[in-house]
Amino acid sequence: MRKPSRWWVQTTFVLAVTLTLGLGIQCIAGDTGMEGLADAQTSSQPTQAPASGVQRGEAITVSTNDIQRSILVTGELKASTARDIIAPRVRSQFGTSITFMALEGTAVKKGDRILEFDATTLVSQKAEAERVLDEAKLKIEKTRADLEVQRADLLIALSAADANLKVAQLYGKIEKALLPANTWQKYQLDLAKAQLAKQRAQEQLANLVNSIPAQVALVEVSKAQAEVGLRKIEGDLAQMSIDAPQDGIIIYGDNWASSRKFQVGDNAFPGMPVMTIPDLSTIQVVAYVYDTELRFLSPNMTCNLGLDSVPERSYRGRIISLTSVANRKGFASQHKVFRAVIDLDRLDSDVMKPGMTVKVEVPVSLASGVISVPREYIGVDPSGGYYVLKGAESKSASAQAIQVGVYGDRLVQISSGVNVGDRLLPVQKSQELNK
pLDDT digits (tens, 9 = 90+) for 296-332: 889 999 999 999 888 888 999 999 999 888 887 665 5
| Same-domain check for residues 138 and 218 | yes
- Bridging pattern class, strands 283-289 and 96-101: unpaired
pLDDT for the residue numbered 80: 85
Residue 295, domain member (yes or no): no
Task: For residue 63, give the 3-state DSSP assignment.
Answer: strand
Rounded to whole angstroms, the Cα distance separating 135 from 127 reads 12
Question: How many domains are there within the chain?
Answer: 4
Percent of the chain predicted with pLDDT > 90: 43
Residue 124 in this model has a pLDDT that exceeds 50: yes
401 lies in some domain? yes
pTM of the model: 0.53
Closest by CA to 386, choosing from 341, 361, 418, is: 418
Indicate whether 306 belongs to any domain.
Answer: no
User: What confidence tens digit (pLDDT) does each residue in 42-87 have?
Assistant: 333 333 333 333 344 588 999 999 998 888 999 999 888 888 999 9
Contact 397, 362 (CB under 8 A): no
First to last CA, the chain: 74
| Domain end position, chosen among 241, 257, 285 | 241
CB–CB of 201/154 below 8 Å?
A: yes
CA distance 328 to 334: 6
Residue 263 has pLDDT above 60, yes or no: yes
Please tell me whether residues 204 and 225 are part of one structural domain.
yes
Q: In whole angstroms, what is the distance from residue 195 CA to residue 25 CA?
A: 167
429: confidence class by pLDDT, cuts 50, 70, 90 = very low
Q: What is the pLDDT of residues 331-386, one digit of tens each?
A: 556 678 899 999 999 888 778 888 889 999 999 888 899 999 998 899 888 898 99
Q: Is residue 124 domain-shared with residue 151, that is, in the same domain? A: yes
Whether 129 and 97 map to the same domain: the answer is no
Q: Are residues 22 and 101 in the same domain?
A: no
Same domain, 214 and 269: no
Q: Is residue 358 part of a domain?
A: no
Residue 435 lies in a domain: no
206 and 153 together in one domain: yes
For 168, the domain range is: 120-241
Sort residue 236 into left (φ over 0), alpha (ψ -120 to 50) or beta. alpha
Q: What is the pLDDT of residue 177?
A: 85
Q: How many residues does the chain have?
A: 435
413 with 265, same domain: the answer is no
Of 190, 215, 241, the last residue of a domain is: 241
For residue 410, give every residue at least 6 positions away whose Cβ sits within 8 Å of its Cβ, in sequence order, or none.
374, 375
Helical segments of 74-119, H only? none
Q: Please list the residues that pair with 387 across neighbouring strands.
A: 379, 401
The mean pLDDT of the chain is 82
One domain for residues 214 and 128:
yes
Q: Is residue 49 part of a domain?
A: no
CATH number reported for the structural domain that contains residue 377 in this entry? 2.40.420.20
